[in-house]
Amino acid sequence: MKNLFIPVFLALILIGAGCVSVFNVDNFKVAPASSENVTVNLPLTGSVVTNPIHVVGEARVFENVISWRIKDDSGKILNSGTSETAALDMGQFGHFDFWLTVPKVSSPNIVLEVFQASAKDGSDQDLVSIPLTLDRNDSTEIKLYFHNDIFDPEITCTKVFPVIRKFTVTDSIARAAIVSLLQGPNENEQLQNYSTVIPFRTELKDISLSDDGLLTVDLKGAIAGPIGGSCYVSAIAAEIEETMKQFESVKSVKVLIDGEENRLEP
């Protein structure tokens, strides 16, 4: 039993135990934040949360696209993106479930905003605003590996290059890294010619680390669609594997799509 403790403990530190938030008892009395067409079930208003943040809810939104952003206590946008709901038909509510990372912050007080962007003018519609407190606000650095045809002019498919990101410290560092990788290069990195071949709106479904160092990354979303060409597949794998192998506990990486093996093939 003593020998099993260390690898299990390292796995929990690396990927996290899947906890959404650190709740106070009083939080259980708080109703989910909601607007007419968007309800966020987790995290609850006033929660103390860990990085990355797990966001769960349901929405009735145009083309099933839900938008989100994280702001600091001055109103500055720290991170933003979109996800998709699982609505079966137009005009129906659909479940959403995604993770987001929090960059370096000066204060633990942040605000999560979930909404739909107007199809007419892009303005915020059905905005749900949720004040949160990070469990800590010191920072750490993580490498994300992307393609760059300046450094790889022959476009060899498998060569990827690191960028350095500063994050709010997390006990789920591998989860934070893959969630950020799936968002792709930020604006400044794109100006330096970094790019990703991972399909837009590919999201993390699950992540786990075995005792022998096998990290299993289960993806969902756009990556479940057709992907053609061995170069393209190898390029996707290179981004994920190199990003994950920066962590000492990770010896090998297996990528699943919606829980299935061998989906990431030409």
Q: How much is the pLDDT for 22? A: 43
Q: Is residue 11 predicted with pLDDT exceeding 60?
A: no
Q: How much is the pLDDT for 27? A: 47
Task: Taking residues 154-175, report their average pLDDT.
Answer: 94
Q: How much is the pLDDT for 142? A: 96
Classify residue 138 as exposed, middle or buried by CB count within 10 Å of its CB (0-12, 13-18, 19+). Answer: exposed
Q: Model's pTM, two decimal places?
A: 0.86
Residues 6+ away with beta carbon under 8 Å from 14: 172, 173, 174, 209, 247, 249, 250
Q: How much is the pLDDT for 15? A: 65
Domains of the chain, first to last: 17-134 (2.60.40.10), 139-257 (no CATH)
Q: How much is the pLDDT for 25? A: 46
> pLDDT, tens digit, for every residue of 14-52?
666 544 444 444 445 788 999 999 999 999 999 999 999
Q: How much is the pLDDT for 226? A: 77
